[in-house]
Chains A and B, each alone.
Chain A
């Protein structure tokens, strides 16, 4: 039985879709089977970031409505045979996503794949709740900036109340991923520090992804950054985060070189 992860944040534009693609490709490179699922109905983008936008035939809603079988909607990555995509629909009818339908699809995916990674839409409405509904674990994507941290706090509360696991008295595993981290700005005190964010959200840290133009380049060409450029700053950071997800203990390194931060972080326990 595979593990279901939701990549969530509340706020938009923080790096959820980038993270879903990067972690999906990183995990798939270790030989485990991975499916990334786009829950952003009406605004699908994971297909673009994965470079599969021209190959979409059916989508999640087609599967839920019985128009297509799951096997017909899944798109296999052309570069990594263990990596698959289930695209979102471009339909404007968000109600087409039903709780029961999502449950059926997730159950089937869980049987077929080692990892099911759900890319949540922004917000705290229905779509975001459905994306987290059946998750075993959550990756909360946060930028070191006040509104993002506040929204993450909201989302953490929802993970503890609105998920199936929480309703059944369980505890969802939570991992904090700080993205778009600009060490120069943090050093100048223009951004919240990693310590501030961790203290406020008191959630174990999965990784720190640097702000980098490598991410933009990766999305331009449709290759997850861990596939096209895994030696780049964000590539390495995502590869390490994936190893932590797999239970390995990898020491946390700060993406850039500013003195002090590394020392502060050294020895911090990973999520």
Chain B
């Protein structure tokens, strides 16, 4: 991260502007329609939970909202042996 550079150079306002633009774009969208990143997160977890019982300690989720792309990372540890729910798929 090049954050510290700005302390030496002065001129930190452009960084502030860029950070705000990215953040506000997401926040404004979120207040008019559900935030896509959050919808994806919830649905992905729901799908996985349908097949195995999710241990919250074995799930790591991170987001990095950016422009032009955001990253949603869902990291789930799936035990090799697990009980298929009785009504489970396939």
Spell out A's residues near B (CB within 8 Å).
48, 51, 53-58, 68-69, 71-72, 78-79, 90, 216-217, 219-223, 228-229
Contact among A58, A90, A217 for B6, CB-based, below 8 A: A217
Measured CB to CB, the closest approach of chain B to A148, in angstroms, equals 26
Measured CB to CB, the closest approach of chain A to B5, in angstroms, equals 9
Q: For A228, what are the chain B residues with a Cβ–Cβ distance below 8 Å?
A: 3-4, 7
Q: Tell me, yes or no, whether B51 is within 8 Å of chain A by CB.
A: no
CA distance A51 to B22 in the complex (A): 13
Q: For A229, what are the chain B residues with a Cβ–Cβ distance below 8 Å?
A: 7
Q: Which residue of A lies closest to B66 (CB)?
A: A54
Contact among A53, A58, A223 for B3, CB-based, below 8 A: A223
Q: Which residue of A lies closest to B16 (CB)?
A: A220
Q: Tell me, yes or no, whether B39 is within 8 Å of chain A by CB.
A: no
Top-7 shortest CB links A-B: A220-B16, A220-B12, A54-B65, A69-B56, A217-B12, A221-B15, A221-B6
Q: For B10, what are the chain A residues with a Cβ–Cβ distance below 8 Å?
A: 217
Q: For A216, what are the chain B residues with a Cβ–Cβ distance below 8 Å?
A: 12
Q: Which residue of A lies closest to B74 (CB)?
A: A57
Once the chains bind, are A221 and B16 in contact (CB under 8 Å)? yes
Given that A72-B56, A72-B59, A90-B27 are known contacts, is A220 also in contact with B6, CB under 8 Å in the complex?
Answer: yes
Once the chains bind, are A55 and B59 in contact (CB under 8 Å)? no
CA distance A72 to B76 in the complex (A): 12
CA distance A25 to B23 in the complex (A): 23
Tally inter-chain residue pairs, CB-CB below 8 A.
64
Spell out B's residues near A (CB within 8 Å).
1, 3-4, 6-7, 10, 12-13, 15-16, 19, 22-23, 27, 30, 41, 56-57, 59-66, 70
A sample of 13 more A-B contacts (CB under 8 A), given A217-B7, A222-B19, A223-B7, is A53-B65, A54-B22, A54-B66, A55-B62, A57-B61, A57-B62, A58-B61, A90-B27, A90-B30, A217-B10, A221-B15, A222-B15, A228-B7
Measured CB to CB, the closest approach of chain A to B10, in angstroms, equals 8
Once the chains bind, are B63 and A221 in contact (CB under 8 Å)? no
Measured CB to CB, the closest approach of chain B to A46, in angstroms, equals 13
A-B CB contact pairs (8 Å), 27 listed: A48-B19, A48-B23, A53-B19, A54-B22, A54-B66, A55-B62, A55-B63, A57-B41, A57-B62, A57-B63, A72-B56, A72-B59, A72-B60, A72-B61, A216-B12, A217-B10, A220-B19, A221-B3, A221-B6, A221-B7, A221-B15, A221-B16, A222-B15, A222-B19, A223-B4, A223-B7, A228-B7
Once the chains bind, are A51 and B23 in contact (CB under 8 Å)? no
Once the chains bind, are A221 and B12 in contact (CB under 8 Å)? yes
Measured CB to CB, the closest approach of chain A to B16, in angstroms, equals 4
CA distance A217 to B19 in the complex (A): 13
CA distance A221 to B7 in the complex (A): 9
Q: For A219, what are the chain B residues with a Cβ–Cβ distance below 8 Å?
A: 16
Once the chains bind, are A79 and B12 in contact (CB under 8 Å)? no
Once the chains bind, are B57 and A220 in contact (CB under 8 Å)? no
Measured CB to CB, the closest approach of chain B to A47, in angstroms, equals 9
Q: Which residue of B lies closest to A70 (CB)?
A: B56
CA distance A229 to B3 in the complex (A): 11
Once the chains bind, are A220 and B15 in contact (CB under 8 Å)? yes
CA distance A228 to B10 in the complex (A): 12
